[in-house]
Amino acid sequence: MASQATPAANLGGQSTALIMSTVAFTVCFAVWTIFSIIGIQIKKDLGLNETQFGLLIGTPILTGSLSRLLLGIWTDQYGGRLVYTVVMVAAATATWLLTTAYSYETFLLAALGVGIAGGSFAVGVAYVSKWYPKQKQGTALGIFGMGNVGAAVTKFVAPFVMVAFGWEMVAKVWAVALLVMAVLFLLVTKDDPALAERKRTGAKPEPLLAQLAPLKNLQVWRFSLYYFFVFGAFVALALWLPRYYMGVYGLDVKAAGMLGAAYSIPASLFRAYGGVLSDKYGARRVMYWTFIVSVICTFLLSYPATDYTVHGIKGPITFTIAIGFIPFTLIAFVLGFFMSLGKAAVYKHIPVYYPNHVGAVGGVVGLIGGLGGFILPIAFGALNDIVGVWTSCFMLLFVLVATALTWMHFAIIRMERRKHPALRGPQDLPELAEGGAPASVSGKPQTASASVRPKEA
């Protein structure tokens, strides 16, 4: 559990933990999304179809997702400093070995190993949250989440390295960078306060089954659906957009990579701002902003380029409705921005509702979100093969976010009616007031102990 006060002795370790965790996550994320660029060349070399390509770029996301629950629990038990270092060393080794792959099957096997880098998110969340009190955790975790910008780093740099030296050099450079980061992290960081206290007192970590107990709550799985969209769809689009730009607008790999980064950057950098907004206004309000704007954006992006013919008085009148290159890029930028706010808002909930189980709950939420990054690229490729419409990927995202918004809205209505029977709709009650208690009807925060944390439907 994060301490409610930060002793002066811990301030240096606190800042170091946040900075180093964020930088390490940036490098890990760059490795995790490496197939968004090198996968394009591998697709050409092996003659893959769209579905096979989607599976290839999504396979690292699978490993990174499935590992998050266990890595989050291990972080609570053994400390983020040790677990983070081991994750980076393992991922660096797998990334270097990627250059020895020679067939589609061996590339998939290597991609599973590369995906270990994605598990670093659950480690970082559990590690960083233990250094900060509740009222600052949204901002701290938002800053940490800015490491998503690693996807943009790959899109900016990897195309130029690949064109000049081949995709194998990209893998080798990224592997060396991750190994160097692992060594620096181990040397510079300290054990988190909770682990240090356990070592001092000789206390044992909480058993595995106790760590998993909160996963019985439906609320955890609802948070997971939110993250399936705001994070999973972000990763999926980060991987898919270079291919989309090349297929729809005829761009080369360097230009497509740069424009893919134009989506990835706001979806990463503004995550810290989402944490600030969640601390200030409540995560619920930020989630409403995120889902409503995302519904609008995905609806607009779903409309396929269409030719219409109107039988006019003087003959047929033909016109085309299509989203041009510039409008598409702008809408994608807006979508990425609001996804970044939503990513921070989802994780603002977890240390408040489950302060003693951040690793387990954050791990399963991250797992489900990461699975979105695995499943959705495959679905995008399959929809292209089956439907034959490029915008089918955004049609799927529209259905997903509309479902999440509907579930959230009615869950909040049920929760507020249970707490305040006189209310008839979802009130603007920041559910993340200090102490985890919802605000009162008058707008003033209630006080609550950890034992009476609010339970959402």
User: 344: closest CA among 277, 398, 261?
Assistant: 277
Q: What is the pLDDT of residue 367?
A: 80
User: Which regions of the chain are under pLDDT 70?
Assistant: 1-12, 202-214, 266-268, 359, 419-457
Q: What is the pLDDT of residue 236?
A: 86
In the block, tokens 């233990």 appear at 130
Residue 318: what are its φ and ψ, rounded to 5°? -110, 135
Structural contact between residues 144 and 21, judged by C-beta atoms closer than 8 angstroms: yes
Q: What is the pLDDT of residue 206?
A: 65
**SS3 (DSSP) at 307:** strand
In the block, tokens 């189980």 appear at 357
Q: What is the pLDDT of residue 24?
A: 94
Q: What is the pLDDT of residue 40?
A: 84
Identity at 338, one-letter amino acid code: F
Structural contact between residues 132 and 1, judged by C-beta atoms closer than 8 angstroms: no
User: 380: closest CA among 67, 49, 110, 80?
Assistant: 49
Eight-class DSSP state of 149: G
Burial 273-292 (b: 16+ CB within 10 A, else e): bbbbbbbeebbbbbbbbbbe
Give the Cα separation of 55 and 374 in Å (integer): 8
Q: What is the pLDDT of residue 406?
A: 93
The first and second tokens of residue 34, run together, are 């490496």
Q: What is the pLDDT of residue 293?
A: 95
| HSE-up of residue 96 (Cα within 13 Å, Cβ side) | 10
pTM recorded for the entire structure: 0.68
Give the Cα separation of 53 and 238 in Å (integer): 14
Give the Cα separation of 252 and 257 in Å (integer): 9
What ranges do the domains of the chain cover? 12-195+206-452
The architecture (CATH level 2) of 12-195+206-452 comes to Up-down Bundle (1.20)
Q: What is the pLDDT of residue 296?
A: 95
| Three-point CA angle 18, 123, 28, nearest 5° | 80
